[in-house]
């Protein structure tokens, strides 16, 4: 099986002139819309092998095609974006942070008969519904992507600075544990969130790389260089792939196309790659042809939610 590896690390990118650097708001919108684009682009090839994607999509998928196992419309998003919107909506409704409001929003989402739901998410939401307990039992084996993939609103709506860092960690782990009681899920959620916070504050890929290296040093399951080639829905496989793509890609578009063509949990890998790449390059780097196809209701909700979450930061 030929993998879509980047053959060489590209030379460092020339620094952008100061006038073209994206603003904080452009980075935040880039992250959230980039996330939704990755979800909608990758979902039609979720659970496929790269060879199957090549055979079905003329060598390489680089447009909003719809279809796949969920029989999606082009531009339709899945559980990844929906869970983010549920979490972000709960933060806004409670004016900041109220964990029970987050859990209740997940219940309302599950009752809305979503197009897909991960097994661990379903189990955790049902447990909360039946017992009122906000924390999943500790899991030993199952560290799926469910908690990691929905944490972006916490990144966007939590204050900056050192006090904000502690609050960000507390909120991230609390929302994650509603469904996922796994140390690697917590570590992945925190590391990706910290990287996104760094990017939103104007940091670059070198600072993100330090966070990724620290994560890999603490938990060898996350060692990503060289890329081990796994794309399951396991948090370690997912972040290895997201890191490899984001650290090597030359543009938002190149990162997303590379991410989804690796197959496996392609929508989630695409979404998380879009979160980082969108935060780094900003919303103006998102291809117009993809944004035009993105579900209009979702597009509008993300813009409104991003603005409102950013204003929570300073409360």
Which one of 29-37, 71-79, 163-171, 254-262 is the stretch in contact with Mn ion (CB under 5 A)?
Answer: 71-79
Which one of 80-88, 186-194, 221-229, 253-261 is the stretch in contact with Mn ion (CB under 5 A)?
Answer: 80-88
Q: At what angle do helices 99-111 and 79-93 cross, to 10 degrees?
A: 140
When binding is defined by CB under 5 A, the residue of 267, 286, 295, 305 that contacts Mn ion is 267
Rounded to a whole number of angstroms, the minimum distance from the CB of residue 267 to Mn ion is 4
**Which two tokens mark 76?**
């339709």
Rounded to a whole number of angstroms, the minimum distance from the CB of residue 308 to Mn ion is 24
| Cβ-based nearer residue to Mn ion, 186 or 265 | 265
Binding mask 221-260 vs Mn ion (x if CB under 5 A, - otherwise)? ----------------------------------------
Which residues, 6 or more positions from 299, have their beta carbon under 8 angstroms from its beta carbon?
33, 36, 291
Rounded to a whole number of angstroms, the minimum distance from the CB of residue 296 to Mn ion is 19
DSSP secondary-structure letter at 69? Answer: T
Binding of Mn ion at residue 76 (CB under 5 A)?
Answer: no
Count of H helices and E strands in the chain? 14, 0
DSSP secondary-structure letter at 134? Answer: -
Q: Which of residues 268-307 bind Mn ion (CB under 5 A)?
A: 268
| Cβ-based nearer residue to Mn ion, 103 or 266 | 266
Which residues, 6 or more positions from 212, have their beta carbon under 8 angstroms from its beta carbon?
191, 195, 222, 224, 239, 243, 247
| Cβ-based nearer residue to Mn ion, 78 or 261 | 78
Which one of 51-59, 70-78, 164-172, 248-256 is the stretch in contact with Mn ion (CB under 5 A)?
Answer: 70-78
Rounded to a whole number of angstroms, the minimum distance from the CB of residue 127 to Mn ion is 21
**226 preceded by cis ω (within 30°)?**
yes
DSSP secondary-structure letter at 23? Answer: P
| Cβ-based nearer residue to Mn ion, 76 or 158 | 76
Which one of 78-86, 92-100, 237-245, 278-286 is the stretch in contact with Mn ion (CB under 5 A)?
Answer: 78-86
When binding is defined by CB under 5 A, the residue of 68, 75, 79, 188 that contacts Mn ion is 79
Query: How far is it, in rounded angstroms, from Cα 26 to Cα 265?
Result: 27
Query: How far is it, in rounded angstroms, from Cα 160 to Cα 162?
Result: 7
Q: How far is CA 278 from CA 9, 113, 121, 156, in A?
A: 21, 29, 26, 13
Rounded to a whole number of angstroms, the minimum distance from the CB of residue 34 to Mn ion is 15
| Cβ-based nearer residue to Mn ion, 149 or 312 | 149
What DSSP string runs through 93-130? HTTS--HHHHHHHHHHHHHT--S---HHHHHHHHHHHH
Rounded to a whole number of angstroms, the minimum distance from the CB of residue 79 to Mn ion is 4
Rounded to a whole number of angstroms, the minimum distance from the CB of residue 49 to Mn ion is 15
Interface residue list for Mn ion (CB under 5 A):
78-80, 265, 267-268
């Amino acid at each position: 099986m030929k993998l879509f590896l980047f053959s060489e690390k590209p030379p460092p990118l020339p620094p952008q002139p100061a006038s073209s650097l994206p603003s904080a708001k452009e980075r935040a919108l880039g992250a959230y819309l980039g996330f939704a684009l990755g979800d909608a682009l990758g979902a039609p090839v979720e659970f496929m092998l790269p060879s199957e994607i090549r055979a079905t999509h003329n060598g390489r998928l680089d447009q909003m095609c719809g279809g796949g196992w969920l029989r999606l419309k082009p531009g339709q998003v899945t559980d990844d974006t929906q869970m983010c919107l549920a979490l972000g909506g709960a933060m806004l409704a409670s004016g900041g942070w109220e964990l029970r409001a987050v859990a209740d929003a997940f219940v309302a989402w599950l009752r809305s008969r979503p197009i897909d739901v991960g097994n661990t998410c379903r189990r955790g939401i049902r447990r909360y519904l039946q017992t009122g307990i906000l924390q999943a039992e500790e899991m030993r084996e199952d560290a799926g992507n469910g908690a990691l993939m929905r944490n972006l609103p916490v990144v966007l709506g939590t204050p900056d600075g050192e006090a904000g860092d502690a609050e960000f960690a507390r909120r991230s782990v609390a929302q994650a544990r509603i469904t996922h009681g796994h140390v690697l899920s917590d570590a992945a959620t925190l590391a990706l969130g910290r990287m996104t916070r760094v990017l939103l504050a104007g940091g670059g890929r070198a600072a993100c790389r330090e966070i990724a290296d620290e994560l890999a040093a603490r938990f060898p399951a996350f060692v990503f260089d060289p890329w081990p080639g796994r794309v399951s829905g396991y948090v370690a496989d997912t972040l290895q792939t997201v890191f490899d793509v984001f650290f090597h890609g030359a543009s938002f578009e190149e990162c997303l196309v590379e991410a989804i063509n690796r197959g496996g949990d392609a929508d989630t890998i695409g979404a998380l790659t879009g979160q980082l790449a969108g935060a780094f390059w900003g919303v103006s780097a998102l291809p117009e042809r993809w944004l035009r196809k993105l579900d209009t209701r979702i597009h509008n909700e993300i813009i409104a939610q991003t603005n409102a979450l950013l204003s929570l930061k300073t409360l």
